[in-house]
Structure 1
Amino acid sequence: PTSAEQAEQWSQQYWPTIYRKTNPFGPHPSIIGRAEEEVLSNNNVPRLMEMAKKVAGETKAKCCGAGVGCVIIERPTGKPIEVIAVAGDGRYQDLDEVAGQQNPMAHAVMRAIGMVARKRVRSATRDPSKLNPDMAALDINKPSHKPAPGAPKFVDKTLLDYPLTPMERKAFNKDNLIPDGYLCVDLEIYLTHEPCVMCTMAILHSRFARCVFGIRMPKTGALTADGGGLGYGLFWRPELNWKFLCWEWKEKDPYDGDNHLHLFLDKKTQV
């Protein structure tokens, strides 16, 4: 069965069955088909991937980090998608890149998830003591970024869970999360590059529903299980307590006469 409702119906009509959302053998083909149709609707994927590339370029131009970008969206029922968070890589922010210093906690995925958390808090309370001083709703657009009254004096800048560029700030300023949500349940994440093990586990523990990435990273990527990479395929492992759908976004050769984007589900990564 592909749903709890169908399992109940089959149990009544035919034979006792149960619905296993976390099927260790991979998602049901019908679930994949419906998800692909929804993801590809309204030509959203090219726009979101371009947005991820753009924010990656912004942070790289500011010498904040590598050219990696991330976009997190929510898909309200019957409404257009909402861009919840946009983040570029910030691993070199306030560090000496030439000397080899970098902050892994400031990878694009980690920063974007942190911004979602800030927005969750902001939607639940207006108490400035619950917010990073730079994140106060009334102060975020001021060049000085003065702390809000009552805000804590100490800020852990290691996480960089606040906007560094205008594009990031535009998404962060919008109070567009559906209220009373939990972590990143039902959210989707779009990435310029396949995430590393740390970022992939952050995606998994944050309970994302879907992930789309662009460039494979054979030496560090943790999503694919074929192609000579690490082989982890962490998006659908029976040992883990959460699973999500994952696709690789591939661009065709511009010289083959058909330069369009298509969604590619790497079925070999399904365990």
Structure 2
Amino acid sequence: MAPTNALQNLHGTIALAGAGKMGGAMLTGWLAGGLDANRVLVVEPHPSDEIKALAAKGVRLSPKDAGTVDTLVVAVKPQTFPEAGPALKPLVGSNTLVVSIMAGTPIAALEKICGGMVVRAMPNTPAAIGRGITVAVPAKNVSAAQRDTADALLRTTGSVEWVDDEGLMDAVTAVSGSGPAYVFLLAEELARAGVEAGLPAELATRLARETVAGSGELLHRSELASATLRQNVTSPGGTTAAALEVLMAKDGMQPLMIRAIAAATKRSKELAK
């Protein structure tokens, strides 16, 4: 999470285009972190009741005469950006920082449609509870101060990693952007396997859910590598070893995950075209 003073030290107006689940989570994090609501402009044609309620705290909703802003965060759905993007251009001045969290949308497309100094970022859905991980890459014309601004805004929803090679963003999208779905699938299939082994469905679901959640929290808190944590659970010749023999076989989880990440990476590249 970003330190409170990091947000309080930001200057100028910050516009948020798109206040859906991810954009709304970011906005909530900004306000909770101490950002002055009067400096926030939300561009959202269909604001939720929660977003409308923030207007009472000073957040401005889609004023037509806003003029240029210091920072624009683009959180619209990537498939709508070709249409929605040009409408955002009046908000962007020559020195406006543009932070995009749209999957598969390259810096060049943002520069062409919106202009400004662009940071491309890829968050994931645990951002909704402040436990996300975001990877960001700046365009070459982004200043150190603008990078700090982007970092402060993104860090309100969790950790932030920076890379210099935009070519890595497709793999980032495949691993962390889409990654929560893989974890949820693990919980789903673990419960299904428990039912096949004879457990009542409700119990199997609860056991799978809490096991995945608890293991994730242990991984989060521990300084040990995931492989070490796995080994610590595995007694030679025991039940865990028997299951891992299947999961770690030549046709087991490793090649399956490699294919899955490759497929997601390929699709991310296709979306950028």
Q: Do these two structures clear the TM 0.5 threshold for a shared fold by scoring above it?
A: no
Larger Rg: 2
Bigger helix fraction: 2
Q: TM-score, normalised by structure 1?
A: 0.30
